[in-house]
Structures are given as C-alpha cells and as structure tokens.
C-alpha cells in the first residue's frame, strides 16, 4: 500500500512515538513494525494491516502500560508478554518499539547448549558496541546493555531470539543515541 492514508498513519504513529521510519506514504516493514507495537500496547489483535479497531485506537490511544512506575525518569522497559520496548525520557514516552525476545527453544552453539530465555529483572546499560559485531551465536548490530538489545533484520511478531532483545534495524540506527551508557536502567518483565 501507498499514498495519503499511509502518510497520515505514519505521521500519527510518529507523533505517538511509534517510529514508523521515514514518512513517505509507503507501508513498508518499518511502518508494519510500528503498527505491531501500537497494536500490542493497545491490546489489539496483531495484524499486518490497520483494522477499524486500530483506527479507533489511533484516534484515542492509551499510553503503553508502565511496568515500573518508579523506575526513574530515564529508563527502558521491555514487556516479554507484549513484545514491546518503551523508552522513557524525563518520565515521558520517548520511543515505543516492537521487539522479539527469546523463543524458549533448546539450542546448541560452539560454546555449549541451553534454553533460549530472556531473563526478567532489573538491569542497567553497561556498554555500547557500534556497527556489526560478531558474537558466538551470530552477528549483532549496535549492541547495548547486559542482555543485548540489538538491531536485527529478523524481528518477527513472536519471540524468536536466543535471549537477546531484538529491535528493528531502523530503530537500532539511533536507539543508542537516546540511551546513555553506562547506567540507564533496563527493566525486563514477563
């Protein structure tokens, strides 16, 4: 799809901090991932299109559910249940992104075998490694935090990683500039 309606959708999602990529009137993967994030935070059925229910929610959206009310003015919250990351700056939503966390499957790598789990808990950012970085389980882009939040070209609607929090590449390109390292709180909840 493309055209005026898509451009209006992109502008609305951007105004609500769901980054749809460039506002160009094309319903591409960046816009689709912003739609998924919006649908998740609004409790809507995940679809690859904008339903009438989503149109109503766009007119009168509710903010993403706060996972840690007193987590700090600057923080990252990741909901494993909703597969959504919310960045708060000055205690206001600055960015909402679709994510894909651990798939729960059993895997083996050159360093051993284990279950794909994204741990819940309270963490802080430790470091940032720019660009493509080769790690034992593959290649990651713009890695940050203890349990890596990193860009990936494969960020499906369902949990699929080995344990990291995958974010779309177009968001990974600037996410690190919004999250000071070290020391930003990162809260991961089930």
User: 3-state DSSP call for residue 139?
Assistant: strand
- Assigned token pair, 8: 């209006």
Say which CATH superfamily domain 4-59 falls into. PGBD-like superfamily/PGBD (1.10.101.10)
Spatial strand order of the sheet with 185-189 comes to 92-98, 84-89, 75-79, 185-189, 121-124
Q: Lowest mean pLDDT: which of 34-38, 48-52, 121-125, 129-133?
A: 129-133
Cα torsion 185, 130, 155, 103 to 10°: value is: -60
* Buried residues in 129-165 as b, exposed as e (16+ CB within 10 A): beeeeeeebeebbbbbbebbbbbbeebebebbbbbbb
Q: What is the pLDDT of residue 148?
A: 82
Percent of the chain scoring above 90 in pLDDT: 79
Q: Lowest mean pLDDT: which of 8-22, 41-55, 103-117, 159-173?
A: 103-117
Mean pLDDT value of segment 53-73: 97
pLDDT band per the 50, 70, 90 thresholds, residue 189: very high
Q: Is the pLDDT of residue 83 over 80?
A: yes
On the question of a common fold for 4-59 and 75-189, the answer reads no
pLDDT tens per residue across span 21-59: 999 999 999 999 999 999 999 999 999 999 999 999 999
d(CA 135, CA 147): 13
Q: Mean pLDDT over all residues of the chain?
A: 91
d(CA 160, CA 166): 9
Asked if residue 162 lies in contact with residue 107, where contact means CB atoms within 8 angstroms, the answer is yes
pLDDT band per the 50, 70, 90 thresholds, residue 128: confident
Mean pLDDT value of segment 68-88: 97
Which sequence spans correspond to the domains of the chain?
4-59, 75-189
Asked if residue 128 lies in contact with residue 148, where contact means CB atoms within 8 angstroms, the answer is no
d(CA 84, CA 99): 5
Mean pLDDT value of segment 66-92: 97
User: Structure pTM?
Assistant: 0.91
User: According to CATH, what is the number of the domain 75-189?
Assistant: 2.40.440.10
pLDDT band per the 50, 70, 90 thresholds, residue 139: low
Q: What is the pLDDT of residue 114?
A: 87
d(CA 141, CA 164): 12
């Amino acid at each position: 799809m493309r055209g005026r309606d898509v451009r209006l959708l992109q502008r609305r999602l951007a105004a609500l901090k769901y980054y749809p990529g460039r506002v160009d009137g094309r319903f591409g993967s960046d816009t689709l991932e912003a739609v998924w994030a919006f649908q998740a935070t609004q409790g809507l059925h995940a679809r690859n299109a904008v339903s009438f229910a989503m149109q109503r929610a766009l007119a009168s959206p509710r903010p993403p559910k706060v996972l840690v009310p007193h987590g700090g003015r600057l923080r990252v919250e990741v909901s494993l249940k909703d597969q959504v990351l919310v960045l708060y700056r000055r205690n206001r939503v600055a960015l909402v992104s679709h994510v894909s966390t651990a798939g729960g499957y059993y895997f083996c790598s050159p360093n051993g075998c284990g279950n794909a789990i994204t741990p819940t808990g309270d963490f802080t950012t430790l470091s940032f490694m720019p660009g493509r970085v080769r790690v034992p389980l593959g290649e990651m882009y713009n890695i940050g935090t203890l349990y890596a939040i990193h860009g990936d070209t494969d960020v499906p609607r369902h949990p699929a990683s080995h344990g990291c929090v995958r974010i779309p590449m177009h968001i990974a390109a600037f996410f690190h500039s919004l999250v000071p390292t070290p020391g930003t709180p990162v809260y991961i909840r089930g």
